[in-house]
């Protein structure tokens, strides 16, 4: 049986839960040059369903680089590991910012693999972070999504 399409209610819940930020690179939708997407954390092509527990708000760059990936290679160990799962894991357990808040650093094998696979330090993002930091608009507040009452 085919998966149901994304409902307006699901879209609203996912956007509210993410509070306007990409759940991977933490970019803020209000400063984005392209619309954000609701993406399937486990892609439909790999059996993922269209439920709020499997949906995340994603900037277009992260969504494009993630595509249907659920695993990546940890650049330190070389092992294939699961990518960061925003409904099951806390962002700050897997990532941190460098000293000037321009680069996302992976703290765990999954974090490092996600930084690489989704290219979380794309040139345009780094430049935008630098400008927003000077303006006092970056980094955005961190929300612990897995325990959100909307998840």
Output the pLDDT for position 24: 98
pLDDT number for residue 141: 87
pLDDT at 146: 57
Give the bridge partners for 71, in sequence order: 82
> What is the 8-class DSSP label of residue 57?
E
Q: Which long-range contacts does 95-100 make (Cβ < 8 Å, 24+ apart)?
A: 95/120, 97/139, 100/130, 100/133
Calculate ∠ Cα 131-135-139, nearest 5°: 75
From first to last of its 151 residues, the chain has per-residue pLDDT tens of 467 889 999 999 999 999 999 999 999 999 999 999 999 999 999 999 999 999 999 999 999 999 999 999 999 999 999 999 999 999 999 999 999 999 999 999 999 999 999 999 999 999 999 999 999 999 998 766 554 434 4
> What pLDDT is stored for residue 92 in this prediction?
95
Residue ranges of domains in the chain: 8-138
pLDDT at position 144 is 62
What is the pTM assigned to this prediction?
A: 0.92
Q: How far apart are CA 126 and CA 4, in angstroms?
A: 36
């Amino acid at each position: 049986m085919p998966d149901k399409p994304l409902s307006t209610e699901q879209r609203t819940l996912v956007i509210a839960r993410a509070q306007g930020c990409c759940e991977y690179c933490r970019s803020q939708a209000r400063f984005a040059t392209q619309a954000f997407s609701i993406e399937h954390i486990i892609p439909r092509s790999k059996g993922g369903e269209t439920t709020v527990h499997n949906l995340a708000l994603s900037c277009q760059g992260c969504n494009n680089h993630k595509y249907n990936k659920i695993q990546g290679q940890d650049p330190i160990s070389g092992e294939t590991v699961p990518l960061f799962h925003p409904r099951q894991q806390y962002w700050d357990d897997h990532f941190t910012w460098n000293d000037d808040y321009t680069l996302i650093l992976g703290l765990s094998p999954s974090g490092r693999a996600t930084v690489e696979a989704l290219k979380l330090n794309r040139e345009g993002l780094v430049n935008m972070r630098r400008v927003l930091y000077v303006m006092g608009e970056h980094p955005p507040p961190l929300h612990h999504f897995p325990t959100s009452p909307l998840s």
